[in-house]
Amino acid sequence: MIEVRELTKNFARHAAVRGIDFHVARGEIVGFLGPNGAGKTTTLRMLTGYLPASSGSARVAGFDIFRESLEARRRIGYMPENVPLYDDMRVREYLKYRAALKGLSPRDTRRRVNEVIDTCGLEGVHRKMIKVLSKGYRQRVGLADALVHEPELLIFDEPTNGLDPNQIRQIRDLIKRLSEKHTILLSTHILHEVEMTCGRVIIIDGGVIKAQDTPQNLVAGMRAAGRIHAEIAGDPEVIAPAIQRLDHIKRVTATPLEETWAHYEVLVDSGIDARETIHELVAQYGWPLRSLHRKDATLEDVFVELTRRD
């Protein structure tokens, strides 16, 4: 559905996107992740025809996005981070207007507007002015706009931006339902949502793709594969260095708790479970131990590992 080759975008002397390559197969849900300023939005704007590329190529549904822009854009439903809505229009009126702009006939416009109002849960507000809608409903109107011309590909840039937890869950469930009929490229900062929604992840930083794979494979292959948490009583200036000297320990962080207790976060090498070794150390010195458990790595850990600056 999407084929990107050596795609580059320069703004004066700044290279926002640096010769990236990736693909999205038909029917996939792919998370497109990166820190602020990584090149995510610039890439999405190039794919949707809002920005020209400096070099490279990209195809959507077999159409070149630069030479065959209209054909490519007919197959794309795009929801930008800040949805540009007309506040002085009613929801149904706005969706009819957008459908007409996208080339739908009057008959198809009536059918599709009714369908997207139902799909996006806008039945209770379709006669209301957009300016009175909550943030959650405004996002739903943006989704309905992206869907109204029945595109094969949906591109969402931060679709849950500014929403509360309940609204985020509702949008996540809606995106899952949409994936049954559409290919989806999703950019978001909520990594937990990506793990629950996306079958594959692309991580970009500094305009360069750092990794692309399933969330499970990325977690399994990361350098810092997990953390061990322990609560031990004693002097942290003695205990932390003792743990640090054990094999396969990358970093130890001590946080004081009540009385003489402290919490220790122990970062270990990939594939290593050092709980038994830590327990033996604690028993050797007679330090009281009330908690010792392992926390498996998450997609957030992968993201930090690949994009941190230290």
**179-198: pLDDT as tens digits:** 888 999 999 888 887 888 89
Contact 103, 90 (CB under 8 A): no
Name the DSSP letter for residue 296. E
Domain boundary among 161, 185, 220: 220
Domain boundary among 170, 202, 220: 220
Low-confidence residues of the chain, pLDDT below 70? 222-226, 270, 309-310
Q: Check residue 10 and give its pLDDT.
A: 95
Name the DSSP letter for residue 90. B
Q: Which domain holds residue 293?
A: 223-307
Backbone angles phi, psi at 159, to 5 degrees: -70, -20
The CATH code of the domain that includes 50 is 3.40.50.300
Q: Check residue 307 and give its pLDDT.
A: 84
Q: Are residues 55 and 139 in the same domain?
A: yes
Does this model's pTM top 0.85? My answer is no
Domain boundary among 196, 220, 244: 220
Q: Check residue 222 and give its pLDDT.
A: 63
Q: Check residue 112 and give its pLDDT.
A: 96
Comparing CA positions, the residue from 153, 203, 204, 212 lying closest to residue 179 is 153
- Phi/psi-derived region of residue 137, left when phi > 0, alpha when psi is between -120 and 50, beta in every other case: alpha
Cα 252 from Cα 241, distance rounded (Å)? 8
Q: Are residues 43 and 96 in the same domain?
A: yes
Q: Check residue 218 and give its pLDDT.
A: 86
Number of domains present in the structure of the chain: 2
Q: Are residues 273 and 259 in the same domain?
A: yes
